[in-house]
């Protein structure tokens, strides 16, 4: 092996080593994604709430809601979603918030887990966005009672981030006849 070939091999090894070290470092983009969560923002009773996107199966327009007698007040009824019957929970009633009529903006957010699936009635869907986990602060003292049990926290702009896992595992949401 001549000196020129040896020099090129060493240079190539050094370049490859530098590339490997650069790729092994955590990029700022990776830091950004691991610290953020994707949420759906929605309005109920003039307040802004959010749920993590990973537990949302679909968001469906509220068209026909069938009342089911003998259920708790917060169960507004059921909807037929492509042949599947889904119960619809009204968090305004569940959280003891002011009620308002359904509008053409009303939507049903279908939450799902291995154990349970149901819809949450939203007065309006505001959009899907990402927020930093660091932006979620502990609950405010004014959010007391049952709402406090289902909160992850609140953001600086007043958006209430709900704990979808608590909602999906709460026995109150399961109706046994």
Decide if 130 is inside a domain.
yes
**Total number of domains constituting the chain:** 1
- Count of other CB atoms within 10 angstroms of residue 81: 15
pLDDT digits (tens, 9 = 90+) for 38-75: 999 999 988 999 999 999 999 999 988 999 898 888 99
Q: What distance in Å separates the CA atoms of residue 40 and residue 91, rounded to the nearest whole number?
A: 15
User: Do the beta carbons of residue 161 and residue 47 sit within 8 Å?
Assistant: no
Which range is least confidently modeled, 3-12, 89-98, 167-176? 3-12
pLDDT at residue 103, rounded to an integer: 80
Decide if 19 is inside a domain.
no
Local structure of 163: helix, strand or coil: coil
Decide if 126 is inside a domain.
yes
Decide if 6 is inside a domain.
no
pLDDT digits (tens, 9 = 90+) for 136-167: 888 666 555 656 678 888 898 889 999 998 88
Decide if 146 is inside a domain.
yes
Chain-centroid distance of CA 104 in Å reads 23
Decide if 148 is inside a domain.
yes
pTM of the model: 0.74
Decide if 81 is inside a domain.
yes
User: Shortest CA distance to 105 belongs to which of 38, 46, 167?
Assistant: 46
pLDDT digits (tens, 9 = 90+) for 68-122: 898 888 999 999 998 999 999 998 888 888 877 788 888 999 999 888 899 999 9
If one compares 177 and 83, the residue with the highest pLDDT of the two is 83
Q: Can you tell me which residue has the tokens 């199966």?
A: 57
Give the chain's mean pLDDT.
Answer: 82
Q: For residue 132, what are its two tokens?
A: 């930093």
What is the domain extent for residue 159? 37-173
Decide if 18 is inside a domain.
no
Bridge partners (DSSP) of residue 87 are: 78
Whichever domain contains 160, its CATH number is 2.40.50.180
Give the percent of the chain with pLDDT over 70: 80
Say how many CA atoms lie within 13 Å of 20 toward its Cβ: 6
| Sheet strands (E) in 6-73 | 36-44, 47-52, 56-61
């Amino acid at each position: 092996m001549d000196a020129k070939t040896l020099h090129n091999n060493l240079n190539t090894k050094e370049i490859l080593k530098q590339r490997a070290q650069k790729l092994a470092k955590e990029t700022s983009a990776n830091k950004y994604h691991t610290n953020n969560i994707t949420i759906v923002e929605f309005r109920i009773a003039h307040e802004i709430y959010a749920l993590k996107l990973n537990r949302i199966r679909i968001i469906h327009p509220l068209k026909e809601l069938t009342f089911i007698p003998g259920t708790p007040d917060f169960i507004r009824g059921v909807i037929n979603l492509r042949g599947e019957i889904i119960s619809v929970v009204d968090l305004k009633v569940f959280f003891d918030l002011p009620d308002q009529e359904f509008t053409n903006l009303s939507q049903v957010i279908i939450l799902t887990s291995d154990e349970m699936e149901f819809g949450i009635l939203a007065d309006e869907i505001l959009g899907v966005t990402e927020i930093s986990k660091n932006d979620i602060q502990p609950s405010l003292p004014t959010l007391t009672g049952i709402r406090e049990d289902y909160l992850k926290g609140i953001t600086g702009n007043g958006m209430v981030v709900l704990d979808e896992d608590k909602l999906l595992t709460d026995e109150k949401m399961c109706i046994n006849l």
